[in-house]
Structure 1
């Protein structure tokens, strides 16, 4: 049996950083300043350095390319992408990381990024560099599952909020319109998710709405499932 040479593979990290801004789900993108794909939009990321942990590399690359720092406790892995032709520079695998957080600042481009900005997550392929369209789709789906199973959506609301304001976060991330009555019934029936303050808020139009705050729950049981 003839022994085949071991394959040498480069290792990189990519980041999908999501937020809700003006009731839209947005993703942090950079404009590549170097080849390959110079001038194309891409996810922030880059190669591991000698002796560097994956998480450390992800935090460093995000800070270097966008100026955003301090989100490392919220990063979670999506999966590893290692298709043979995913990178024209050679056989390079990347480990994608996800963070979905409120109140993230405007980015500042650095290192090999010619620009950095928030872009709405749209249906269909936005034409990102490498295989970043696929990574973005997978990460958004993971974020949507997070909203099914955890009270994460409440973090995107003010300390005191109405159920309609909470529903707007779910609609932005899930990308679907939700029935207001059904949503209200399900959310207020989940133990520890939201707690009534006893106050009412009068909107510009319509009837006054009850005001809530975040409850103590760290997981939603049963999960708040998306419409089919």
Structure 2
């Protein structure tokens, strides 16, 4: 129970989540359940995501505010504009999904010990990829996978999970290309989940959870969520 008196929901086998406004002050909403494709997809469609360090103790979150990136607000520096015009990197989609997830799980990060991408999480997202929901955006330097990101594609919102770089600017290259593609497809936003200085430098911003939920659930006249 947090300082607002909110009780954490313990999930059963029933495929449902509590309302996101019942989350604690730091965004924790529920504990338990499983990592089946159906449950994970229901979570993302409900503004919720899994994040934990132990496969035996699954935690579900819906923070307020929410970090998002509007595709048309991506910040592209002069150096990155130059890199985008060069032939150094090649973008590929879903050619090495499992390798991208593994790289995100094992890459060394400043001020971070270990990884939240547990073996159970990795298996879950590989299954989602096989079903066509999870996608990897990969940066290749000749025949070397040097960076990329992965996430869940809801058709109107791309829920980013993690990214990595093995060479300078590779993850930025992936995110910028993703934003450019999603802008052309009229996606509402890229869900970045939680604040980071790196994401902010690329144009991501925090918005109230209720605004995030509105964008996640609103449909335009063409029938697509917007």
Fold conserved between structures, TM > 0.5: no
Give the TM-score taking structure 2 as reference length: 0.26
Give the TM-score taking structure 1 as reference length: 0.26
Larger radius of gyration: 1
